[in-house]
Structure 1
Amino acid sequence: MTRFSRMPFFVQLMLVSGAAMLLPAFYAIVLREWDDARAFFYAATLFSAMALFIAIARFNPDGTDALENARRHRDREGRNQLLTLLASYTALPLILAVPFSEATRDTTFFNAYFEMVSALTTTGATLFDDPGRLSRPVHLWTALVGWLGGLFAWVTAVAVLAPMNLGGFEVISSRRIGQSETRASQIDRVALASERIARFTARLFPVYLGLTLALWFALAMVGSSPYVAFCHAMSVMATSGISPVGGMTEAGTGFMGELLVFAFLFLALSRKTFTADQGHRAAPPLWQDSEMKIGLALIVVVPMFLFLRHWVAVLEVSGDWTFARAISSLWGGTFMVLSFLSTAGFESMGWEEARLWSGLQAPGVLLMGLAIFGGGVATTAGGVKLIRLYALVRHGEREIEKLISPNSVGGAGANARRIRREGAYVAWVYFMVFAFTIAAVMMLLSLFGLHFEQAAVFTISALTTTGPLVNVVGSVPMSYAELGVAEKAILAATMVLGRLEMLAIIALLNPEFWRR
């Protein structure tokens, strides 16, 4: 394990990818789909051997030179880790796409690459609108890549982005973006990034795997087949929205299945659902966490708005509305709010009734806004993140108080004051960068013939890593498969930007970051 943690990070990812390819290979053997089994087994052998050869070539018997050299250039470590993350999301899908392309012969390698970028970034956007076009081992591979991408996002957020004050941690920290913590925990001050990644992987992987297995068993118990339940369990934990049957509506689990998924999606609202802040033993309980509070407020307010609007403005809506259908519409709205707030994108069976009940022409616009808000910091969710939204809300409350009482003093402690001031400032900067990114990507897509509505939906879907968003926003579902190669390339790059976040890319472009 020690030697594995000292390998180059990309070599580690190659070894993990090669080992993961064996699972769909064995599943294909069980199904007697020999072509798929050969595609995955040969790819696993090839890339595992390549990774081992690279590791042997870089092997140092004592390992002291490499460690001393890394510690001597610790000031470059953050830059190198960000570059490695960027390379992982862009180059690693080239490896992951090989068995996908070989097992799915009626598509191009670029389409396979797009699918793997979408899965690794937990976006869940697919070019195959008909699930029947892909075999069961290929569906399993896509869901598995999404699951590993969720674990990768968890680990790198706390092991790489948090020490550099990126990924949303800059809102609750007094440090500048990219600045190391001077009073950090011992593992952050002494250990190298590779050692931190190994340590946090050992801590988080059992939790991640255990929750996935628990959800798999629960979904299988309420009526889903073991194969579909396993794929959906991985997709829920990674908030990727990947499904081998076209979504939860086709899983056969009914209301109980949606209730289970609803419960597990709460993990994406706050990092404190699975881990506590380092160095803060007396952390407040989960229901007092700022991200969880604003997430719960959205889950309550938005569905009630959709539900109550029926009596306010659209009493003339036709249909045989019984009490059961009204409750179904309320549940459909509640499930969809959490699903898209966590950027998973699963659709509820009651969503169509919720749309008819509310009477709104385009209730999908609300889902776009929720996807932009996103989930918690250091979770698998994408979007702007709830902590930034919370900082702006608290800043707005304080400004209103100052309008009423200009000489008042804001309380709630030093942390709350920092969030209302420096935190709100950084959050507003990120919101502006996020908005400019949406505008830039929309203009690029418009150059290739997409209309304004299409460009907006595809851009927000990719940037918030909410691939299924394109199926529910408009009155007519949109499809990634109808796009050209240039549009797919733009959206694939947008998915990487959405997963890495623009502040990390800006940190890489900062000249001072390179001079250090």
Structure 2
Amino acid sequence: MWARITRQPLFLLLTGIAAMAMLVPAVHGFLLGRALEGRAFLYSALLGILAVVLVSIARDGSARRRSEMGDLLGLFAAMSVLPLFLALPFYEALRTTSFLNAYAEMVSSLTTTGAAFFQAERLSDTLHLWRGMVGWMGGALIWVAAAAILAPLNLGGFEVTASAEPGQSDQLHGRHERIDPQRRIIRATKALLPIYSGLTFALWLMLTVIGDPPLVSLIHAMSIMASSGITPLASASQAESGVAGEAISALFMLFALSRLTFSSDTITTTRRGLHEDPEFRLGILIVLAVPLGLFLRHWVGSYAADEEQNLLQALGALWGGLYTTLSFLTTTGFESVEWETARNWSGLPTPGLIFLGLAMVGGGVATTAGGVKLLRVWALYLNGLREMDRLVHPSSVGRSQGMSRRIRRQGAFIAWIFFMMFALSLTLFTMIFAGFGSDLETALTLAIAGLSTTGPLVQIAPDEAVNLAALAPMAKLTFAAAMVLGRLEMLAFVALFAGQLLRR
């Protein structure tokens, strides 16, 4: 029985998992007395399970050679097609929206973007739970796919340290060619899912003990581990746990800065500790430098207002900057309860451009964070240092050896190509959103929020929050495409579709 299940395509397995997951909000809806919502999820779950069983029986006995590209195509289908099924119970339970809005909401959740198309008070607790669960499952999928699909193909940031071209295996991953890709996915799931679930449960328990309601703490715990930024509240800053809850949440956000914080299954360098990991060190440097810069900026503003002696208000402003910076760097997008204090302390406007920049940088490779990724930024930084040395000493010889030299040369070249592709994608989506009637600020915010998978940017970065539900239908589909592209990255699309064309 287990062998038959594991022989099924990745997309079919993910559809079955999604169908069984619908039983949880179905039970939740019935327990709360919302029979209509419970039936919507129950009937959708039964329909999905029946369809998966029938398709698996129909294709039983078919033997096809599996490949990493096939799993990459299945991952793309999961991000773009599977939300059609995930949106079905959401649409039937809400009843006051279009299916397009429900689909865009599910794409936002599954890609861990967390852009809310509905006001918090419009959705019931059951629907909020489903949004959080979809985001959490999307984060788990990215964790597993990074080790089992992207790493063997040298994609998702691994191309910076690999010796082969993106989309191809190198000698380090040559042993994977003798292993069925489906077995590799199952093995990665067995290794990573208990860690992912355990960390989520621990954070849920801590937030509940501090004072958050169980449902709010559960959704926030799932959102932080998946870096999705989904919250059942109007803003995460309204959580009852306050600064204490944010301090605990910040510790769990560190897992999105580097893969080394929770696993060593995809390490492509000789570094084995966090103190030697360039991603983690660069992330901590940004988390400390940006708030300190904002703090000094705010301190100058408050000095002009003769409020420099208010120590508690100053500490609150500093913490608001630290937590919000870490949240947006990991593309979670939670705003600190003290962020309003940081703004009012100096009376200066919201530095939305800084949030856009932090989201574009993103977190670590093979984590749930989006953006350009810290490893690529580090590679470009090393290359920049070397080029400045050569300007002063043209005949100098680089001192780096081994993998550091690889990152500084070929890695920086590929990182620069990715950065240019990201910039071109950003320009293209900005132009498309502007063509659909959005002003430049809104179009740029939507493009960065989608490509960096940081949905809360649309509420915090611009002067006026963007109403996603009021966008034109084609603009919503474009935003969904940007979220899928940002989650899988442009290099993966190039490797996928270029490989398909070459094989034809």
TM over 0.5: yes
Q: Which one-letter code corresponds to 1:112 in the other structure? A: A
Aligned to 2:79: 89
Which is worse superposed, 330-339 or 303-312?
303-312
Aligned to 1:263: 251
| TM superposition shift of 1:357 | 3.9
Q: 1:316 to 1:15 in 2, by over 3 A?
A: same
Match of 2:281 among 284, 288, 293: 293
Matched, 1:141 2:142: no
- Whether the 8 Å CA contact 1:303–1:333 is kept in 2: the answer is yes
Aligned to 1:155: 144
Aligned to 2:36: 35
Aligned to 2:497: 509
| TM superposition shift of 1:356 | 3.5
Aligned to 1:303: 291
Which is worse superposed, 437-446 or 360-369?
360-369
Q: Which one-letter code corresponds to 2:131 in the other structure? A: T
TM-score where L is the length of structure 1: 0.94
Aligned to 2:69: 79
| TM superposition shift of 1:251 | 1.7
Q: Which one-letter code corresponds to 1:22 in the other structure? A: L
Aligned to 1:124: 114
- How far apart, in 2, do the equivalents of 1:304 and 1:515 lie? 52
- Whether the 8 Å CA contact 2:26–2:41 is kept in 1: the answer is yes
- Whether the 8 Å CA contact 1:168–1:385 is kept in 2: the answer is yes
Written as runs of structure 1 = structure 2, the 5 A alignment for 1:477-492 is: 477-492=465-480
- Whether the 8 Å CA contact 2:163–2:170 is kept in 1: the answer is no
- How far apart, in 2, do the equivalents of 1:508 and 1:7 lie? 21
Q: Which runs of 5+ in 2 are unaligned?
A: none
Aligned length: 503
Aligned to 1:47: 48
Aligned to 1:98: 88
Q: 1:273 to 1:26 in 2, by over 3 A?
A: same
- How far apart, in 1, do the equivalents of 2:55 and 2:501 lie? 29
Aligned to 2:81, what secondary structure does the other structure show?
helix
Match of 1:167 among 144, 151, 156: 156
Written as runs of structure 1 = structure 2, the 5 A alignment for 1:107-122 is: 107-122=97-112
| TM superposition shift of 1:318 | 6.8
Q: Which one-letter code corresponds to 1:15 in the other structure? A: G
Q: 1:356 to 1:11 in 2, by over 3 A?
A: same
Q: 1:474 to 1:512 in 2, by over 3 A?
A: closer
- Whether the 8 Å CA contact 2:118–2:469 is kept in 1: the answer is yes
Q: 1:104 to 1:476 in 2, by over 3 A?
A: same
- How far apart, in 2, do the equivalents of 1:184 and 1:82 lie? 16
Matched, 1:16 2:11: no
| TM superposition shift of 1:3 | 2.6
Q: 1:190 to 1:136 in 2, by over 3 A?
A: same
| TM superposition shift of 1:22 | 0.5
Matched, 1:400 2:392: no
| TM superposition shift of 1:59 | 1.7
Q: Which runs of 5+ in 1 are unaligned?
A: none
Which is worse superposed, 213-222 or 270-279?
270-279
Give the % identical residues.
46
| TM superposition shift of 1:196 | 1.1
Aligned to 1:453: 441
- How far apart, in 2, do the equivalents of 1:311 and 1:236 lie? 30
Which is worse superposed, 41-50 or 308-317?
308-317
- How far apart, in 1, do the equivalents of 2:257 and 2:189 lie? 20
Deviation readout 1:474-495 (Å, 9 max, x if unpaired): 2322221221211111100100
Matched, 1:466 2:454: yes
- How far apart, in 2, do the equivalents of 1:311 and 1:215 lie? 34
- Whether the 8 Å CA contact 2:301–2:348 is kept in 1: the answer is no
| TM superposition shift of 1:313 | 6.0
Q: 1:418 to 1:19 in 2, by over 3 A?
A: same
- How far apart, in 2, do the equivalents of 1:360 and 1:392 lie? 33
Please give the root-mean-square deviation of Cα atoms over the aligned residues, in Å.
1.8
Matched, 1:202 2:190: yes
- How far apart, in 2, do the equivalents of 1:137 and 1:2 lie? 35
- How far apart, in 2, do the equivalents of 1:279 and 1:30 lie? 45
Aligned to 1:337: 325
Written as runs of structure 1 = structure 2, the 5 A alignment for 1:425-444 is: 425-444=413-432
- How far apart, in 2, do the equivalents of 1:105 and 1:474 lie? 31
